[in-house]
């Protein structure tokens, strides 16, 4: 009986350890964590969400190339400056997620009490990094928030027009990536 308890305890400890690993969630993060090869990363600022947000958010395009091969990956970094001293949360959006997110933001912006025949509603879009954008109603009160993909899930409450700004910035980021890819850079 003691052997079974010890085996179960060791098995549970191994299972808990396996669940706490911080494996990359996005393709960009996976390439960024590559070992034994030089990585060249380029960054271009697209814009910022500063009005009616709890925490300022910067949007930028990033390009990562693993050398000597020419494997190039593009992504969009959503950089949230948290109120903690020097706190910065970066959530990456892979290029292949951008179209869906841009269209999803449009649907979230249009969501209202007519989307479901219930008292309250919630419209949410999530990406691989865990970043999510949600519009939640509670009676007549509507809250729009960007939630970081970190373990704490920091919630950044935003004004309704900021959702349009986020969509505009992500569209500009996709255009920048498309232009770079088309030019062969």
Q: pLDDT truncated to tens, each residue of the chain (185 aa)?
A: 555 544 545 455 554 444 445 677 787 888 888 888 888 899 999 999 887 888 888 999 999 988 777 778 999 999 988 876 568 889 999 999 999 999 999 999 998 888 888 889 999 999 999 899 999 998 888 888 888 887 676 788 888 888 899 999 999 999 999 999 898 77
**Domain boundary assignment for the chain:** 23-182
Residue 178, SS3?
helix
DSSP SS3 for 12: helix
Number of H helices, E strands in the chain: 4, 8
Give the separation between CA 181 and CA 185, rounded to whole angstroms. Answer: 6
**CATH class of this structure's domain 23-182:** alpha beta
Distant-in-sequence, close-in-space partners of 142: CB < 8 Å, separation ≥ 6: 135, 136, 160
Ramachandran region of residue 47, left (φ > 0), alpha (ψ -120 to 50) or beta? Answer: left
């Amino acid at each position: 009986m003691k052997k079974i308890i010890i085996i179960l305890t060791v098995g549970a400890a191994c299972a808990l350890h396996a669940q706490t690993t911080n494996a990359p969630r996005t393709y960009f993060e996976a390439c960024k964590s590559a070992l034994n090869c030089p990585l060249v990363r380029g960054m271009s600022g697209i814009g910022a969400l500063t009005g009616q947000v709890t925490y300022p958010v910067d949007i930028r395009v990033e390009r990562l190339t693993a050398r000597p091969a020419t494997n190039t990956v593009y992504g969009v970094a959503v950089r949230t400056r948290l109120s903690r001293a020097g706190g910065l949360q970066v959530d990456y959006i892979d290029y292949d997620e951008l179209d869906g997110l841009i269209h999803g933001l449009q649907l979230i912006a249009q969501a209202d009490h007519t989307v479901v025949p219930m008292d309250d509603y919630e419209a949410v879009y999530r990406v691989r990094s865990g970043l999510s954008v949600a519009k939640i109603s509670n009676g007549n009160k509507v809250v729009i928030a960007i939630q970081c993909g970190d373990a704490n899930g920091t919630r950044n409450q935003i004004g309704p027009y900021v959702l349009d700004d986020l969509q505009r910035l992500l569209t500009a980021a996709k255009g920048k990536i498309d232009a770079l890819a088309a030019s062969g850079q």
